[in-house]
Every structure is written in C-alpha cells, then in structure tokens.
Chains A and B, each alone.
Chain A
Amino acid sequence: MKRSKRNLHIIEFFGLLLALLWLSPFYLMIVNAFKTKREIFTDVLGLPNESTMDNFVKAFVDLDFMRSLFNSVIITVLGVGIIIIFSSMAGYALARNKSKLSGIIFLVFVAAMLIPFQSVMIPLVSLFGKADMLNRTGLIFMYLGFGSSLSIFLYHGAMTGISNSMDEAAIIDGANRFQVFWKIIFPLLKPISVTVGILNVIWIWNDYLLPSLILSDSSATIPLKMFLFFGQYTKQWHLALAGLTIAIIPVIIGYFFAQKQIIEGVSEGAVK
C-alpha cells in the first residue's frame, strides 16, 4: 500500500510537469508581450526587464478591440440562440413523429455532417452574394444550417428519455403543440441545451474562414480582426503577442467561470 502511494506521488509530479509544459506557450506569449522588440530578441525566456503596457495599449487600439469583441458577442449570441430554438423544436418534432418520412429527414440531417465546409463553400458564397446576403444576417442564418445537424442529433437523443404521456396529458387539457413544447418539454431539455450551447459557442466564437468570406472589416469578429492585424505586424512580435493575449482574455475569463459546465458539456456531446 505504501509503495503504491509513493508511485502515485511520482505520477502526480510528472503530471504536473506535463501540465506546466502544456501551459508554456501561454507563458511565452504573455511574458514576451511585455517586452520590447529588442528584448524579445536578446532574452526570450526570462521575465520582462522593465515591463510596460505600451504594447497592449497599441494593440488594443489597432485591433479596434471593443468593436471586434462586440461583433463576436453579437454573432455568437444570436447564432447560438437560433440554433438552440430551432434545433430543439426540430429534434422534438422528429422524435415524436414515428413516420417513415420523419426518419428520412432525420437521416438527411445526420448525413449532412459528413459534408465538409469546403465542399459547399464556393457555391454558398456565390448564392448569398447574388441574394445580397453577404452580411451579419446571412452569416447567422448560415450558422443555423451548419450547426443544426449535430444539435438536432443531440436533442433527438435526449427526447427518448422524455415520456410521451406528458404531451398527451397537456393536449387533453387543451394545450396546443407550441405550448406543450415551450412550457413542458423545453425546460426538461435544459441539460442538453447547455451542451448544445457550449459546443456551438466554442465553434462560432472561434470560426475564422466563414466570417472571413462574408464579413466586412467594420463587422469583423475577433479571429478575423486578429488575422488582419497579424498581416500588419509580421516581425513585430511584441505587438502581435500583446494582441494575441488580449484576444484570448475573454475566453480565459469564460472558462474560469463556466469550467465545470464546459467540460461536462463537451463530454456529453462527444459521448452521444
């Protein structure tokens, strides 16, 4: 027993060492964000000599950070919001309808997950261009299309655990389908809504390619602005690193507050 306890301590020590190694890219990013261009060149590993906030101030202004943060938040909230509303409705309807047609529709949604984004990207952009929809509204509508498959799949799975007798009782009491869904079923689906929400937030918040094809500079999200910003600052690592640090601060804050839900949500989504 004693030996296994000592072994556990050795394993824990190596585990922590590995965790530090895992964090090292972030350490290197942060410490160098405080250095001058020259100091990065002469001493890349150490702490900054005379740390200043200059890099951060300049990166913050050049990134137009408050605006891109706002754009990211708006697009993520609206995109995830409509995915949750419409996928849960569809998942409910498809699970409750036992017909052949409903089975086929469900299968089409699942099969659509096999289509990589690049395979539809070019006609999609052309189609939305013709309809004059290459803007934020068009982008949010696209997120519903790309996000609905997995979300419907998850809602559909969760519905099997909710008995039909509830629906029937409510219908006998005179409720219509919308009332049954929103007042009775949707609240019961809350755990899966959290999972769907987290998976889609992670994806939409970080998405780069789709917004880059659609959004103009004034409505650019954080990843998009980051890319444009980097183009100007190749070789100016002190500014670039300050920009990267600013860009990931909102994510780290979010992770800090919702750590448990995020990890549980992701594992729920992966196991289903």
Chain B
Amino acid sequence: MRNRDLSFWLFIMPVILSLSIVIIIPFIYGFIYSFTNWNGLAATEFLGFKNYITLFKDAEFRAAVWFTTKFAVTSVILLNFLGLSLALLVTRNMKTSSFMRTVFFMPNLIGGLILGFIWQFVFISVFGSLGDLLGIEALTGWLSTTATGFWGLVILTSWQMAGYIMIIYIAYLENIPKDLLEAAEIDGASSIQRFWNITFPLVAPAFTVSMFLTLSSSFQIYDQNLSLTDGGPYNSTQMVAMSIVKAAFKENKMAYAQTQAVIFFLIIATVAVTQVYYNKKREVDL
C-alpha cells in the first residue's frame, strides 16, 4: 500500500480528521488562547505572558499542583506495591485464585465517579459511626480535614486501581520460565532469594508500564476528586484537573483556565517522558 494509493488515504482519513478536530486543533488554539484575554467567545487582546505570571503567583493553583504531586507519588508507590503483592498472591496454585482475581479487579469496571460516592458514604457514615461506637476519635470527621481528604483519595484510588496493576504484573509473572525458578530452588535458593534475584528483575518491564499508567492517571484524576471531596475543605484537596474545570466552567475565566491547562500538559508530558526514559535505561542495565 503506497502513499499515492487512494485507498491508503481513504483508510486513514476518518481517524486523521477526528484526531485533528478533537485534539490537534484545540491543542494549538488552547496554546494561543493562553496568551490572550479569551473569554470563550472572542479574544480581543494579546497579553503575552501575563496569564502565566498571574498563575505562578496564584497560591491556590500552586497548592493544587503540590497536592496532585504528593498524591501521585504516594499512589504510585502504594499501587505498585499492592499490585505486585496481589499478583504474587493470585498466581499461586490455589483453588480460589481466580475468584480473588475477579474480586480485586472489579472496582476498575465501575467509574471513578460512582466509586467516589460509595467511599464518601464509607468514610463519612461508616467510619463516623464506628468511631463513635469504638470511641476512636480519629475515625470521625473523615474527609473534613485536608489530611483525611488526602488519605481518603489515596485509599479510594488504591482500592480501585490495584486490581488493574495486578493484571499487568500477572501477565509478566506468567512469562517467567518455570524451570528457572525450579533450578534455583534445587540449587538451594530460599523463596526470598528467588524473588529478589529472579522474579523481581524479570518483572521490571511490568514496572515501567504500570508506573507510566499510575503516574499519568494519578496526575489526571478528576472524577474521584469530584465525587469524594469536591476539593473541600476550602479547596485544600483540589487537584489540578479539577482546578482547570472550575476556573473554566464555574468561574468563567477561560483564558486563565487554559493557561493552567498548558502548564498541566507540560507537567504530565515531562513526568511521563522522564519516567519512561529512566525506566527503560534501568531495564537494560539489569
């Protein structure tokens, strides 16, 4: 199939058209609008870097970036730990293994918005009454402080995504040659030694994939944030994605919201590219 074949272009035209209209053109426009006073309808003035300067001075936005980063780092660590542990658990030869896989994966199928509402009930009502019943004050008033809101979000997303990460690790664990592990066992390696010297290095590519997925998805979290805490109390659990939506559609500050969106893109692109580059390098070394 050559370039000058009409069929080549007919085959790729629909997706090129939709990608251009839905992503590429809005992306370029968005970049340009961030330097203007665009109000959603028209841009009458070119402002240069004015929006960006305002943004860097904006304490609330800085707090959102910091909160998002903290959240992403915490959940990447937790999710990979949980995902690998669950994968090691369910790849053992047990009758109930497939039942466990089914259960651990289930939350992924239900949208973040609905899961956030369910956990809002668990944190507020269930934790609240358990706290009253057992006299543990730490359990009451969840989601009403910044710290409990943070951990609430971490718990919710760990519960939701661990099963997904588990599936990735399972796929790589099942590719480890059985005879390699058996040979090591015969040679007298303990199960801990077998894990650190064989299993762990061989699942390194899974770590690259799952770290990419967990990083980019935790930086972009919106639904869970909206339904669990709605950014409260006092916007202290508001993440960057939510900050953009609010600035644009609640406060109607379109150009300013778009400036946040450009910075958001730069953060995610930098983090993702660095992470993949670094992980790939590490994989080769092993």
Q: Which residues of A contact B (CB under 8 A)?
A: 8, 11-12, 15-16, 18-19, 22-23, 25-26, 28-29, 32, 40-41, 44-45, 82, 86-87, 89-90, 92-94, 96-97, 99, 101-102, 105, 108-109, 112, 114-124, 126-127, 141-142, 144-146, 148-149, 152, 176-178, 181, 202, 205-209, 213, 223, 226-227, 230, 237, 240-241, 244, 247-248, 251-252, 254-255, 259, 262-263, 266-267, 270-271
CB of A115 within 8 A of CB of B7, answer no
Cβ–Cβ < 8 Å partners of B30 in chain A:
119-120, 122-123
CB of B27 within 8 A of CB of A119, answer yes
CB of A141 within 8 A of CB of B18, answer yes
A116 and B264 in contact (CB under 8 A), knowing A12-B96, A97-B3? yes
CB of A123 within 8 A of CB of B23, answer no
Given A41-B129, A90-B14, 20 extra CB contacts under 8 A: A18-B100, A99-B3, A102-B8, A115-B23, A116-B264, A119-B261, A120-B27, A123-B25, A126-B41, A127-B25, A177-B7, A206-B109, A207-B111, A223-B113, A227-B226, A237-B121, A252-B106, A254-B109, A255-B102, A262-B105
Number of residues from B at the complex interface, CB < 8 A: 91
Cβ–Cβ < 8 Å partners of A176 in chain B:
7
Distance A270 CA – B211 CA, assembled complex (angstroms): 12
* Chain B 111-130 per-residue mask, 1 if CB under 8 angstroms from chain A, else 0: 11110011101100110011
A25 and B90 in contact (CB under 8 A), knowing A93-B11, A118-B220? no
Chain A residue nearest in CB terms to B124: A237
12 A-B contact pairs sorted by A residue (CB < 8 Å): A12-B96, A93-B8, A118-B222, A118-B240, A118-B261, A119-B27, A126-B40, A255-B102, A262-B105, A266-B167, A270-B171, A270-B209
- The A-contacting residues of B in range 20-36, CB under 8 angstroms, are 21-27, 29-30, 33
